[in-house]
Structure 1
Amino acid sequence: MSAPFVVGIAGGSGSGKTALARSLAERFGEDSALIFHDNYYCRRDELTWDERSAVNYDEPAAFETSLLTEHLDLLLAGQSIDVPVYDYAQHNRSEQTVRVNPAPIVFVEGVLVLYEEELRKRFDLKLFVETDADVRILRRIKRDVLERGRTIESVESQYLSTVKPMHERYVESSKVWADVIVPEGGYNHVALETIAGGLAANVANLAKRT
């Protein structure tokens, strides 16, 4: 099998980048692997729940990106990896891992994946999902309350103290590295079809060369 075609998908929290990544991965099925940068948040067993709640999770130092880079290199070499699983309710990694096998296309999703140079070097295609800030915060509130067990007050506090300023400092500036800007992410069906078609053609061409 030829080396995987690696796609980095970045964008602000609530932009629709996860929906885009999932839709693309579902489109290619067993021919794709999907990795979320969030699962590589640093383990913080030494902190109490209250202390973990106060951590800035929107800056580069919050992630163990070196482990993700190592895992990408293993996938590129044709080896399987065991991806950590992050528990949002506990603000910490769980004891679980998920086996991810090599595939022709590897999608890597996260707010800061285009900010990190070592990740960018490994991406064959870099996508940035751009969505209006008001839409992003509304989606974030709905997701964090319904899916992650947060209160509206905690979501508001985190957004104002870290999410918004870190977005302006790190995430927004990283779109200069993008090959394609995708408005509305997975909710943009025209863009989804176009990207999927282009990926299918690229992977087919790579397969012919091996």
Structure 2
Amino acid sequence: MKKSVIIGIAGGSASGKSSISRRLKERYENTNSVVIIRQDDYYKDQKNKTMEERVKTNYDHPFAFDNDLFVAQLKQLMAGVAIEKPVYDFVVHTRSEETEHIEPSDVIVIEGLFILEDEQLRDLCDIRIFVDTDDDIRFIRRLIRDVKKRGRTIDSVIEQYTTTVKVMHNTFIEPSRKYADIIIPEGGHNQVAIDLLTTKISSIIQENML
């Protein structure tokens, strides 16, 4: 296998990063040529903390992530070595006991808040994408997601958004858009952008088959 191509997808919370990744996964689900890795699974392990301490963690700050492990495992995949990727449990706010086995592939799509903010991750990316979605839409999406899928209350989601999420977005995430090769408005709802990405990925896979 030739060198893996890494596509980095960054953007604010609930901007549509995962929607784009999901669409790509669906498109290539019958192949072993594309793998999706979420930065969210690389939140730092907090098993040594109490639940009260875990809840107080600022999950929207770069320091919340174990990017050294993320970078190390990406380099393993690029070298043709399989990894055991951590899995994060958002209900108990710490890393799960389970891991996910990931084999090397032609295209590695990594998505997360700080993909372009972190220099190590940014430098590994061959294609850098920033998903740009209106703040109000992102807040509504996050509210629905966190209540339905992550066991949060409406009040806790609102408090977290107003005290940390918005501030961290303006401080770290929004400025990272300057590193993007491509800016995609509205995430997975942007069919033109999805088509362009799938065309590029398909050409990479085709080249690696030659």
**Shorter-normalised TM-score: what interval?**
over 0.9
Q: Which residue of 2 aligns with 1:122?
A: 124
Provide the C-alpha distance between the structure 1 equivalents of 2:193 and 2:204, rounded to a whole number of angstroms. Answer: 16
Match of 1:187 in 2: 189
Residue identity opposite 1:149 in structure 2: G
What is the deviation of 1:179? 0.5
Q: Deviations over 1:47-80 (max 9, x none)?
A: 1111111111111110000000000000000011
- Equivalent in the alignment of 1:64: 66
1:2 and 1:207 in contact (8 A); partners too: no
**Is residue 25–residue 107 contact of structure 1 (8 Å, CA) maintained in 2?**
no
CA shift for structure 1 position 199: 2.0
Counterpart residue number, 1:23: 23
Give the aligned length. 208
In structure 2, how many angstroms separate the alpha carbons of the residues matched to 1:51 and 1:120?
Answer: 30
1:140-185: CA deviations, max 9, x gaps?
Answer: 0000000111111110111111111000000000010100000111
Structure 1 residue 198 and structure 2 residue 200: aligned? yes
Residue equivalent to 2:92: 90
* CA contact 2:106–2:208 (8 Å) conserved in 1: no
Secondary structure of the 1:67 match is helix
The 3-state SS of whatever aligns with 2:28 is helix
Q: Does the 8 Å CA contact 1:127/1:179 hold for their aligned counterparts?
A: yes
Matches within 5 A, 1:159-178: 159-178=161-180
Question: Structure 2 length normalisation: TM-score?
Answer: 0.96
RMSD: 1.0
Structure 1 residue 204 displacement after superposition: 2.4
Separation (CA, whole Å) in 1 of partners of 2:131 and 2:209: 28
Identity of aligned residues (%): 42
5+ long unaligned stretches in structure 2: none
Deviates more, 1:196-205 or 1:108-117: 196-205
The residue correspondences of 1:124-163 to structure 2 (distance < 5 A) are 124-163=126-165
